[in-house]
Amino acid sequence: MDQADLGIDIGAGTDVEIETADIVLVKNDPRDVLNIIRFSKSTYSKMYQNLLWATGYNIFAIPLAAGILYGYGLLLSPSMGAILMSLSTIIVDVNEKTLKMKLFD
């Protein structure tokens, strides 16, 4: 038996339909399905970018904080680690804001 991968319902449907749907369209416009798909792809792309950013940050910062370059006089202090972590949060937030700008152009 075949099953659907995704259930979409228009908000004017019955309670049972709304409860079982994966996506509920608030407006009665089926063209919004294309916007949902575009939003989904953009969101996935941003998640991937943020994952790459976090991985790159951790590959760089954790060994420095552990003292891997201490012999060369380079050690990441806890305060500098906190500053870099705050910067990481700001970069992720700015990256998320570009998603909003792209969707509402």
Percent of the chain at pLDDT > 90 equals 1
Q: Do 60 and 36 fall within a single domain?
A: yes
- Write out the two tokens for 62: 């954790």
Q: Do 48 and 59 fall within a single domain?
A: yes
Question: Could you list the residue range(s) of the whole structural domain that residue 41 is in?
Answer: 31-103
* Count of structural domains, the chain: 2
List helix spans (H) across the chain.
Answer: 15-20, 32-66, 78-103
CA dist 99 and 93 (Å) reads 10
Q: Do 39 and 24 fall within a single domain?
A: no
pLDDT tens track for 29-69:
778 888 888 888 888 888 898 888 888 888 888 888 888 88
This model's pTM is above 0.85: no
pLDDT tens track for 70-105:
888 888 888 888 888 888 888 888 888 887 766 555
3-class secondary-structure state, position 81: helix
